Amino acid sequence: MSRARRLVAVSNRVGPVRNVAAAGGLAVGLVDALREHGGLWFGWSGRIAKNSRTVVHKEKIEGLTLATIDLTQQESDGFYNGFSNNCLWPLLHFRIDLTRFERAQLEVYRRVNRRFALAVRKLLKPDDLVWVHDFHLLPLAEELRSLGARQRIGFFLHTPFPPTEILSTLPAQEELMRALFAYDLVGFQTPEDLGRFQEHVGWVLDGTVRGKSVTAFGRQLHAGAFPIGIDTEQFNRFAFSPPGSQEFARMRRALAGRDQFIGVDRLDYSKGLLRRMDAFGRYLERHPDAHGKVILLQVAPVSRSDVASYREFRDELEREAAGINGRFGRFDWTPVHYLNRALPRRTLAGLYRASRVGIVTPMRDGMNLVAKEYVAAQDPADPGVLVLSRFAGAAQQMTAALLVNPYDGEETAEALHQARTMRASERRRRHQTLMKRLRVFDVRRWRSDYLAALAAAPAWRAPAPPAR
């Protein structure tokens, strides 16, 4: 791809640029690409403004341009806490029971996307590649097209894409699907997500699918699966150099010969934390010989505390952890260690390396990079074992993990036992297989494949007007 084409990334929030490796997540995937292409990153500043007057705040950091706007409290409530997280997030994770659709919040969601588009449009150059991220900004390309933008615009969905039976429950599904067809390329985490999108286009929207080309609403786009990865080698270095190596040594001393199971998840109902606690309790029930010899370290930073369902979920999880400790704990042994705060990635790398078993058991997840980081942090001579939900996108690539159905507590409990007691030769074999895949499908592969596909996608053409 020519270096002359600038990359413009748009996401709900703009991530850190300095010391980006320590931040992880989307920032790692984007910052190097933005540096390579002399890019610009646009998003919400996170600040609350007194009025909706759009002022773009620009900042130059290490050769990149960061551009942000503020939102009003009403916009934040309706756009972020409201339609994005009370409606789209549970729907995309197959949780119809938690989906709360309010048309007024949809209107705020569209209004904020319009504000984003108005600000971004003024910053664009004719030959830019625009890469839009995640469900907060589904309508952004449609808004940009209405303002005359003809640049290549791609969209990447970081969450799962739900099946037609679930998506069709959303009153605004056709409106949002129509908005997707203003993009030139739509990317998904897994072939399964791509397939569900294609099926919905064919069954509900009366569209057509021919290879990577998808047509509906009089508009053609390309769609593909682009599984996101991590910087595998860098995260491995985190685990074996300070401060990760120091955290590993400190944790091993604190464990005093016990085996540690570790889970690291944002505090969210989609992550399967309640069922994980239940499975760990079942494991202790069925294997009393493990009492006093294992601990579960669950790191769960608080998330979306302004949303009532999240506050209720946190209370329930704390009761579950306390129940296990009360039931099985002894004066010299606390089975569950539960932390509600975020830890630096280098610290986490050392903790992963010190843990015999990594537990990643979401009920549904787009990819889940914790699974990949846990494997990357292991000592190849004495690696731990990953227990992974088959409903995480990562399971499609990480078949050498112990794959479980997180809805089956007995199966998960037995997988914990199998992981802890697995012979070293099998642990090494599984780890070697997993690392080979992580090195091939790393974060650089993700972004290079996606941007190459975006550059090759058919140029935008406005839909033909309906025949009279």
Q: Catalytic residues, which ones?
A: 158, 365
Q: How far apart are CA 56 and CA 78, in angstroms?
A: 21
Nearest to 361 by CA among 283, 290, 245, 465: 283
How many Cα atoms occupy the beta-carbon half-sphere of 63 within 13 Å?
A: 11
DSSP helix/strand/coil, 287:
coil
Handedness of CA 325, 326, 328, 332 (dihedral sign): positive
Q: Which helix (H) or strand (E) holds 259?
A: strand 259-264
Rounded to an integer, what distance in angstroms lies between the CA atom of residue 149 and that of residue 122?
Answer: 10
Report helix angle 232-240 to 345-353, nearest 10. Answer: 70
Strand order in the sheet with 213-216: 57-61, 64-72, 40-49, 7-13, 129-133, 152-156, 185-188, 219-225, 213-216, 208-210
Cα separation, 18 vs 8, in Å, equals 18
Surface-to-core class of residue 4, CB atoms within 10 Å of its CB (0-12 exposed, 13-18 middle, 19+ buried): exposed
| Neighbour count for residue 424 (Cβ, 10 Å) | 10
C-alpha span between 89 and 83 (Å, rounded): 9
Distance CA 164, CA 173 (A): 10
Report whether 101 contacts 170 (CB < 8 A): yes
Q: By three-state DSSP, how is residue 212 classified? A: coil
Going by C-alpha positions, the residue among 106, 18, 98 that lies closest to residue 62 is 18
Please give the Cα distance from 220 to 460 (Å, whole number): 9
Query: Alpha-carbon distance 344 to 24, whole Å?
Result: 10
